[in-house]
């Protein structure tokens, strides 16, 4: 059996960027992709906004992916598509195996390290507690996007979208451009979940109503298809307000209620999951703290604002895998835990070594203006004009700051 330097599960931006970095450094990766082609979700995202940070150009999703795919082809990197990973096996410190099921039969592949970049899944109507019949006209945003942008199929004509995340907002605009009527975008929170630019460019520019503190109580159907929905307002505890219900006649309901990291295989491997990110607990090598030699990047790590960040994390994981291969493991040192404090929803990585400078990705728990991020143990304060839960904050911690801190490093957001 051939042993690769790294098995990369996932052929989206994070996995492709990781493979490219490894190959450019003289190592041999294998990309394992479940779909019939490389590229990941950006292939179905025909809007611009990709590559601004990574390529320093404003690209569409397909353009972004094909730049990475072209480089993979130039480097002659091996990959296998239509490959379902049934199980990951941690054979030893320097042997990770993946059991695959493909149209060509079952196979086992081996790598010295493993980079997990399997992306995320969409939340469903059942997770939101939306009752009603299972009929035609109910789609996740990703399903609708695939139908329209890859197969030229219109899911419906009178649309209601649940969730104001970026994918839902972009789909609202996409429907209008294709001649459909978007009756409303519903958001259960008191503030939008997507980037400000998408609120402006996808809703306000097209006069699409955004209804905050609203959700769908029930789906109604006629002749096997959605005919209307019952909408209700919610209170501060996100509970339906009795008597606030009303009906919107529509033929299509789009569920755009966010993503969850795809971590089933990691759980089975024994990796602990952070309840805040729904992704794995990792150190500043992006290595899982439970299984040495397994690194995680992209939306499997945490849900990113941009594909650029996912690609960036792929390179980070690849550099860590190289360090691991060259030294038969990473340096062992006491870990400092990064603790989300007041007004901080999540932070990644959750542990840092203090062996080098590191980046942190974090999100606040509610919209804040004129604030500062405070690290009491580091004696550091970072002023910000504003912070939104929908916008990732990215900042660097210096090695010397981490070294002089204790076992825990708290980060808080407070008014200035």
The string of pLDDT tens digits covering residues 312-359 is: 999 999 999 999 999 999 998 899 999 999 999 999 999 999 999 999
DSSP E strand boundaries for 136-177: 138-140, 158-162
Q: pLDDT band for position 194 (50/70/90)?
A: confident
Which tens digit of pLDDT belongs to each residue from 364-380?
Answer: 999 999 999 999 999 99
Tell me the C-alpha to C-alpha distance, in Å, between residue 106 and each of 36, 40, 63, 93.
16, 23, 33, 25
Q: Is the pLDDT of residue 33 over 80?
A: yes
CB 139 within 8 A of CB 255: yes
Query: Which of the four pLDDT bands, split at 50, 70 and 90, describes residue 399?
Result: very high
CA distances from 51 to 57, 259, 311 (A): 5, 21, 10
CB burial of 276-311 (b: ≥16 within 10 Å; e: otherwise) equals bbbbbbbbbbbbbbebbbbbbbbbbbbbbbbbbbbb
> Does the pLDDT at position 158 exceed 90?
yes
The pair of structure tokens assigned to 261 is 């990291």
**pLDDT-derived band at 295, boundaries 50, 70, 90:** very high
Share the mean pLDDT of the chain: 95
Give the span between the Cα atoms of 59 and 47, in whole angstroms: 8
Q: Which fold has domain 334-416?
A: Immunoglobulin-like (2.60.40)
Q: Are 64 and 307 in contact (CB under 8 A)?
A: yes
Closest CA to 47 of 173, 163, 199, 183: 173
The CA distances from residue 383 to 369, 400, 414, in Å, are: 10, 21, 10
pLDDT (0 to 100) of residue 2: 87
Residue indicated by tokens 């932070």: 347
CATH homologous superfamily of 1-122+258-332 = FAD/NAD(P)-binding domain (3.50.50.60)
Q: How confident is the model at residue 214 (pLDDT cuts 50, 70, 90)?
A: very high
Average pLDDT over residues 189-208: 92
**Is residue 406 predicted with pLDDT exceeding 90?**
no
Identify the pLDDT of residue 195.
Answer: 83
Summarised one tens digit per residue, pLDDT across range 38-94 is 999 999 998 899 999 999 999 999 999 999 999 999 999 999 999 999 999 999 999
d(C-alpha 342, C-alpha 361), whole Å: 16
> Which part of the chain has CATH 3.50.50.60?
1-122+258-332, 124-257
**Each residue's pLDDT tens digit, 231-248:** 999 999 999 999 999 999
pLDDT of amino acid 236: 92
Q: Place 114 in a pLDDT band, splitting at 50, 70 and 90.
A: very high
In this prediction, residue 1 carries a pLDDT of: 72
Encoded tokens for 258:
């966010």
- Homologous superfamily (CATH) of 124-257 is FAD/NAD(P)-binding domain (3.50.50.60)
User: In sequence order, what are the beta bridge partners of 84?
Assistant: 101
Considering the entire predicted model, what is its pTM?
0.94
Q: Is 90 exceeded by the pLDDT of residue 390? A: no
Phi first, then psi: what are they for 350, rounded to 5°?
-85, -15
Q: What is the pLDDT of residue 81?
A: 97
* C-alpha neighbours within 13 Å on the C-beta side of residue 397: 34
Are the C-beta atoms of residues 214 and 246 closer than 8 Å to each other?
Answer: no
Q: What is the pLDDT of residue 416?
A: 86
Residue 2 and residue 25 in contact, taking contact as beta carbons nearer than 8 Å? no
* Whole-number Å distance between alpha carbons of 359 and 99: 33
Please tell me whether the peptide bond between 349 and the residue prior to it is cis, using omega within 30 degrees of 0: yes
Neighbours of 105 (CB within 10 A): 7
């Amino acid at each position: 059996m051939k042993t690769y330097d790294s098995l990369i599960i996932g052929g989206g931006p994070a996995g492709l960027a990781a493979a490219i970095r490894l190959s450019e450094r003289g190592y041999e990766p294998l990309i394992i992709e479940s779909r019939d082609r490389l590229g990941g979700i950006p292939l179905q995202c025909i809007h611009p906004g990709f590559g601004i940070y990574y390529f320093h150009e404003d690209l569409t999703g397909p353009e972004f992916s094909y730049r990475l795919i072209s480089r993979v082809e130039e480097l002659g990197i091996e990959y296998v598509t239509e490959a379902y990973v049934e199980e990951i096996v941690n054979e030893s410190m320097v042997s990770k195996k993946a059991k695959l099921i493909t149209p060509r039969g079952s196979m086992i592949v081996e790598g010295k390290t493993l980079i997990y970049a399997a992306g995320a899944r969409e939340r469903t109507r059942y997770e939101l507690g939306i009752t009603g019949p299972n009929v035609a006209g109910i789609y996740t945003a990703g399903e609708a996007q695939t139908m329209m942008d890859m197969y030229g199929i219109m899911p419906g004509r009178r649309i209601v979208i649940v969730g104001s995340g970026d994918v839902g907002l972009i789909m609202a605009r996409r429907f209008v451009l294709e001649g459909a009527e978007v009756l409303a975008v519903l958001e259960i929170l008191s503030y939008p979940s997507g980037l400000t630019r998408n609120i402006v460019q996808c809703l306000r520019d097209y006069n699409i109503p955004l209804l905050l503190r609203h959700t769908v109580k029930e789906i109604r159907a006629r002749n096997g298809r959605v005919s209307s929905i019952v909408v209700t307002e919610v209170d501060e505890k996100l509970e339906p307000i009795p008597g606030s219900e009303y009906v919107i006649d529509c033929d299509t309901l789009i569920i755009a209620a966010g993503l969850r990291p795809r971590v089933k295989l990691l759980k089975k491997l024994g990796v602990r999951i952070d309840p805040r990110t729904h992704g794995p607990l990792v150190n500043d090598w992006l290595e899982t703290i439970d299984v040495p030699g397994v690194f995680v990047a992209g939306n499997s790590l945490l849900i990113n604002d941009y594909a650029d960040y996912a690609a960036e994390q792929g390179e980070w994981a690849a550099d860590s895998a190289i360090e691991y291969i060259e030294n038969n493991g990473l340096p062992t040192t006491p870990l400092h835990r990064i603790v989300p404090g007041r007004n901080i929803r999540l932070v990644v990585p959750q542990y840092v070594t203090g062996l080098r400078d590191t980046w942190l990705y974090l999100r606040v728990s509610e919209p804040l203006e004129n604030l500062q991020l405070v690290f009491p143990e580091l004696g550091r304060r970072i002023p910000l004009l504003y912070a939104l839960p929908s916008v990732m904050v990215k900042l660097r911690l210096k090695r010397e700051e981490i070294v002089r801190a204790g076992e825990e490093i708290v980060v808080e957001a407070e008014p200035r």
